[in-house]
Amino acid sequence: MTPKLSITQRRRFCAQGHLLNPIVSIGKAGLTKSVLEEIDRGLLSHELIKIKVHLDNRDIRKSMLETICQNLNAVPIQQIGKIFVIYRQKPEDTDPKKTEKINTPEKKREPRRTKRSYQN
């Protein structure tokens, strides 16, 4: 099930997508397992990515975009010709080490001793 976006979110992502360069290219071999893994890695690190497809058939490109979004739980933002822009929100980090670090207050360092502090 793909998450839903509001119209304002979709417009904002569409505007951000214009500035992006494609990070994944899909060639004549089509949508393979390694291509899906690369798209997944891109979504994990960037949330919003642009994909370029080097196929001429419109129906195949449309079905390819639907397959990508269904398999990776992503939202299609825009499709212009052979370019796809897709979005998936980053998952929350559930690493206990990171949460401990965030929740614990930092200890203040003791002031550095100077020459004068030794004289007193």
* pLDDT tens digits, one per residue of 64-86: 999 999 999 999 999 999 999 99
> Residue 88: which of 39, 50, 48 has the closest Cα?
48
Domains of the chain: 7-87 (3.30.110.60)
**Res 26 pLDDT > 90:** yes
> Residue 75: which of 66, 30, 120 has the closest Cα?
66
Instruction: Please tell me which residue, 6 or 120, carries the higher pLDDT value.
Output: 6
d(CA 47, CA 20): 12
pTM exceeds cut of 0.75? no
Tokens 């398999």 sit at which residue? 71
H-state helical runs in 6-91: 7-18, 33-46, 58-72
Predicted pLDDT of residue 91: 81
* pLDDT tens digits, one per residue of 43-70: 999 999 999 999 999 999 999 999 999 9
Predicted pLDDT of residue 63: 94
Contact (Cβ atoms closer than 8 angstroms) between residue 40 and residue 24: no
Contact (Cβ atoms closer than 8 angstroms) between residue 57 and residue 28: no
- Average pLDDT over the chain reads 85
Predicted pLDDT of residue 47: 92
**Res 111 pLDDT > 90:** no
13 Cβ contact partners less than 8 Å away, ≥ 6 residues apart: 5, 48, 77, 85, 87
d(CA 89, CA 24): 18
